[in-house]
Amino acid sequence: DQQVKQNSPSLSVQEGRISILNCDYTNSMFDYFLWYKKYPAEGPTFLISISSIKDKNEDGRFTVFLNKSAKHLSLHIVPSQPGDSAVYFCAAISHSNYQLIWGAGTKLIIKP
Amino acid sequence: DSGVTQTPKHLITATGQRVTLRCSPRSGDLSVYWYQQSLDQGLQFLIQYYNGEERAKGNILERFSAQQFPDLHSELNLSSLELGDSALYFCASSVGLGDTGELFFGEGSRLTVL
């Protein structure tokens, strides 16, 4: 049972344009949603998070939007830069058990 | 640098063998997590320890075991290794129980089973 789904295995975006990565979830008990970024041969690094009581959180070029009614969140990167090329994982956590549930990841490729 | 240290970085061994992966969490972090990533697949949660006690268990095989020591470092033991165990094994740590979901990952240990 995939509680967190990233349906796009990969995404290619022109440098300078907006990158939009999507994530869907099924468990309405999730309290926090997070995005992690992972470069090859490195561990994931935390990027940005959002509480379930909010619908938007912004940090520099990165903005996460949460649509609870649709059980959908997205990560916007504006403008996209070559260094943004990485795998992005969506994750969610419920305070009922503190278990972090991960999506399968989306590989973002920024074209020069 | 996340502050999480994993050793060894690379390990090559044969089927049927046993290996131990080591992790030192960030200073002050009480929770340690182990994850497996096989061939560009997603992260599979294996197990979590909190202050020396097992906190949560994921898809960890019976051939695998882990522990967290009083100094909070952790070891993941993989035995009777099979070809399919070849993967990147990540350790992560967090302050407390990780209720915000923010984990700090090490660089991983790449295990190759021949």
Query: Among B2, B6, B103, B104, which would you mutate to test the A interface (most chain A Cβ atoms within 10 Å of its Cβ)?
Result: B103
Confidence category of residue A1, pLDDT binned at 50, 70, 90 = low
Nearest to A103 among B4, B42, B92 (CB): B42
* A25-81 tens-digit pLDDT: 999 999 899 999 999 888 999 999 999 999 999 999 999 999 999 999 999 999 999
Determine whether the interchain pair B42/A97 forms a contact, defined as Cβ–Cβ distance below 8 Å.
no
**Residue tagged 């089927």 (tokens):** B15
Identify the closest residue of chain B to A101 by CA–CA distance. Answer: B45
* Planar angle of CA B24, B14, B72, nearest 5 degrees: 15
pLDDT of residue B98: 80
Percent of chain A predicted with pLDDT > 70:
99
Give the closest residue to A26 by CA, choosing from A78, A92, A75, A100: A92
* B6-51 tens-digit pLDDT: 999 999 999 999 999 999 999 999 999 999 998 767 889 999 999 9
* Residue A46 near chain B (CB below 8 Å): yes
Task: Classify strands B10-13 and B19-24 as parallel, antiparallel or unpaired.
Answer: unpaired
How big is the A-B interface in CB pairs under 8 Å?
58
Confidence category of residue A2, pLDDT binned at 50, 70, 90 = confident
